[in-house]
């Protein structure tokens, strides 16, 4: 990179100091081309040098320009015939162009056509015999078999190309076993091992699984087929153990959310230190801080009590050294919450808030469903639930807009779709009002709303 920068600086300074240089090089190239065309095999670069005043470096550039223009004409139909190849050999010799320089130019054209031919071949996910033959022909123009040329090509820019092919394979939002096997098979035929393919697509593969998870979280549900597909992807694409552990935890949370939505609340062992009614079921226990907000004549007054919250089938209990409360779900007239907070109000009582020491994505969901089951109906909360759902096409555009990264910190994991202006404050599901946030940034935003 440093050498290229120095070369660019020198070239720029030369052009600034000598603005006529480019015109002289082009004039030399035109003269060489005319000599080749008129004299053909009788042309001699040595005689051409002796016939006109020239700068050696400028003449070398002119010779390369002539050879590249010939390569462009030869490749204009997408192939190089035997006759054209002999012509290239003759011109190289006539121009006294070194083998290394000529091969570098040939390789540039071959790589460009190989890239285009490979892209076309992979459009339908299948490498036909005709397409394979075309790739072999391109490799032969530089005297190499397809496997050797392909490895050279992929060593130079293969990861970017394979990532592009992988992105094309998942453009519809899914990757079937057949599509993956086809991609593996094509890579093998081109001399690329499965491990090399997996290494090349590791980042987009993780991003793809993250997108599938983000969509499932936005939907609030996941079926067994979707879950098995995600597990198959993680296993087949050999994603990092850390990412797999994270994704499995997200799947576990999604399963719990689905069970809660269907009214199947968890049942855990009853904790010590509390008297329970006959047949009472405990759903969850978490350390929490209870905040009691009272509006007095002197202003707002807040009390904080550190303790534990116990959610049961008909009531919730808060226990601490400074306060103990048992609240029947039927007495709750309003509530809202998130992963690390819950706010609710009881009849003829002030607003109470609960803060958890660490985020818990299902605690409020359990409370919400327990209240609904206790009342034998879903508690009305301003009709927000239907308007919170973000349509799939909106999510796809938002994902593309943010490149699968958190809008605030560029994180690639724990991503969630977020309403910039909350639905409760009049925000819509329009593209402009939806963003991608990681869970940490989303919680941070909730703290300020």
Which range has highest mean pLDDT (184-188, 191-195, 244-248)?
244-248
The answer on pLDDT for 16 being more than 60 is no
Interval 331-382: pLDDT, tens: 998 899 888 899 998 887 888 899 998 888 889 999 999 888 887 654 434 3
Torsion of CA 344, 346, 352, 354, to 10 degrees: -50
383: confidence class by pLDDT, cuts 50, 70, 90: very low
Lowest mean pLDDT among 51-55, 170-174, 369-373, 418-422: 170-174
Q: In b/e form, how buried is each residue of 406-433, taking b as 16+ CB within 10 angstroms?
A: bbbeebebbbbbbbeeebeeebebeeeb
Range of lowest pLDDT (112-126, 261-275, 303-317, 377-391): 377-391
In this structure, what token pair is assigned to residue 134? 């075309």
Distance separating alpha carbons of residues 167 and 110, to the nearest angstrom:
24
**Binning pLDDT at 50, 70 and 90, where does residue 123 land?**
low
User: Torsion angle, CA of 8/14/17/21, rounded to 10 degrees?
Assistant: -130
pLDDT band at residue 158 using 50, 70 and 90 as cut-offs: low
The C-alpha atoms of residue 121 and residue 132 are separated, in whole angstroms, by 8
In this prediction, residue 287 carries a pLDDT of 93
Domain residue ranges in the chain: 207-262, 282-380, 386-448
Give the contacts of 40 (CB within 8 A, at least 6 positions apart).
Answer: none
Residue range 282-380 in CATH 2.30.29.30: yes
Q: Percent of the chain having pLDDT more than 90?
A: 16
pTM of the model: 0.57
- Once rounded to an integer, what is the mean pLDDT over residues 194-212? 83
Q: What is the pLDDT of residue 202?
A: 82
Q: Which residue has the higher pLDDT, 9 or 210?
A: 210
C-beta separation of 274 from 319 below 8 A: yes
Exposed, middle or buried: residue 289 (CB in 10 Å: 0-12, 13-18, 19+)?
middle
Q: Average the pLDDT over 30-56 and give the result.
A: 86
> Any idea which architecture 386-448 has in CATH?
3-Layer(aba) Sandwich (3.40)
**What is the pLDDT at residue 305?**
93
* Radius of gyration of the CA atoms of the chain, in A: 34
Q: What is the mean pLDDT of residues 62-66?
A: 90
Q: What is the pLDDT, as a whole number, of residue 326?
A: 92
Q: How confident is the model at residue 124 (pLDDT cuts 50, 70, 90)?
A: low
For 302-322, the pLDDT digits (tens) are 889 999 999 999 999 999 999
d(CA 166, CA 180): 9
Phi-psi region of 191 (alpha: psi -120 to 50; beta: other; left: phi over 0): left
Q: How far is CA 225 from the centre of its chain?
A: 22
Residue 449 pLDDT > 60: no
- What integer pLDDT is reported at residue 379 of this predicted model? 40
Please give the average per-residue pLDDT across 228-232, as a whole number: 84
pLDDT at 406 over 80: yes
CA geometry: angle at 42 spanning 86 and 106, to 5°?
30
Q: Are 382 and 274 in contact (CB under 8 A)?
A: no
Going across the sheet that includes 282-296, the strands are 324-328, 315-320, 299-312, 282-296, 351-356, 341-346, 332-337
Q: What is the mean predicted confidence (pLDDT) over 414-440?
A: 86
What's the pLDDT at 306? 94
Judged by average pLDDT, the poorest of 211-215, 295-299, 431-435 is 295-299
Cα distances (Å, whole numbers) of residue 145 to 43, 86, 195, 210, 412 = 34, 19, 22, 39, 40
32 pLDDT above the threshold of 70: yes
What local confidence, expressed as pLDDT, does residue 380 receive? 37
């Amino acid at each position: 990179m440093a050498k290229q920068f120095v070369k660019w600086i020198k070239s720029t300074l030369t052009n600034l100091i000598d603005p006529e240089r480019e015109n002289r090089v082009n004039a030399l190239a035109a003269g060489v081309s005319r000599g080749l065309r008129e004299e053909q095999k009788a042309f001699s670069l040595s005689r051409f040098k002796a016939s006109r005043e020239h700068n050696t470096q400028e003449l070398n550039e002119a010779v390369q320009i002539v050879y590249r223009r010939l390569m462009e004409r030869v490749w204009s139909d997408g192939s190089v015939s035997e006759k054209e190849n002999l012509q290239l050999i003759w011109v190289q010799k006539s121009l006294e162009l070194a083998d290394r320089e000529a091969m570098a130019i040939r390789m540039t054209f071959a790589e460009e056509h190989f890239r285009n031919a490979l892209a076309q071949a992979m459009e339908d996910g299948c490498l036909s015999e005709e397409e394979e033959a075309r790739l072999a022909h391109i490799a032969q123009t530089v005297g190499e078999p397809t496997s050797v040329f392909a490895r050279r090509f992929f060593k130079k820019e293969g990861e970017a190309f394979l990532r592009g092919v992988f992105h094309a394979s998942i453009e519809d939002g899914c990757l079937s076993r057949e599509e993956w096997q086809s991609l593996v098979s094509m890579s093998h035929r081109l001399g690329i091992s499965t491990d090399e393919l997996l290494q090349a697509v590791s980042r987009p593969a993780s991003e793809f699984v993250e997108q599938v998870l983000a969509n499932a979280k936005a939907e609030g549900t996941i079926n067994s087929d979707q879950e098995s597909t995600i597990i198959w992807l993680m296993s087949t694409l050999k994603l990092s153990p850390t990412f797999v552990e994270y994704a499995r935890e997200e799947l576990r949370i999604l399963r719990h959310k689905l069970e809660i939505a269907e009214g199947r609340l968890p049942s855990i062992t009853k904790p010590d230190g509390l008297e329970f009614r006959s047949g009472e079921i405990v759903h969850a226990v978490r350390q929490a801080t209870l905040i009691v907000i009272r509006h007095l004549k002197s202003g707002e007054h807040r009390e904080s009590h550190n303790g534990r919250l116990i959610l049961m089938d008909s009531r919730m209990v808060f226990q601490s050294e400074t306060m103990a409360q048992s609240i029947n779900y039927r007495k709750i007239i309003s509530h809202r919450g998130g992963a690390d907070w819950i706010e609710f109000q009881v009849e003829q009582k002030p607003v109470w808030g609960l803060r958890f020491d660490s985020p818990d994505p299902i605690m409020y969901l359990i409370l919400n469903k327990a209240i609904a089951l206790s009342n034998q109906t879903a508690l009305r909360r301003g009709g927000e639930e239907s308007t919170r759902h973000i349509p799939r096409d909106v999510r796809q555009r938002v994902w593309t807009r943010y490149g699968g990264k958190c809008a605030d910190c560029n994180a690639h994991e724990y991503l969630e779709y977020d309403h910039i202006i909350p639905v409760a404050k009049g925000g819509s599901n329009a593209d402009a009002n939806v963003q991608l946030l990681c869970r940490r940034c989303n919680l941070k935003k909730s703290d300020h709303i």
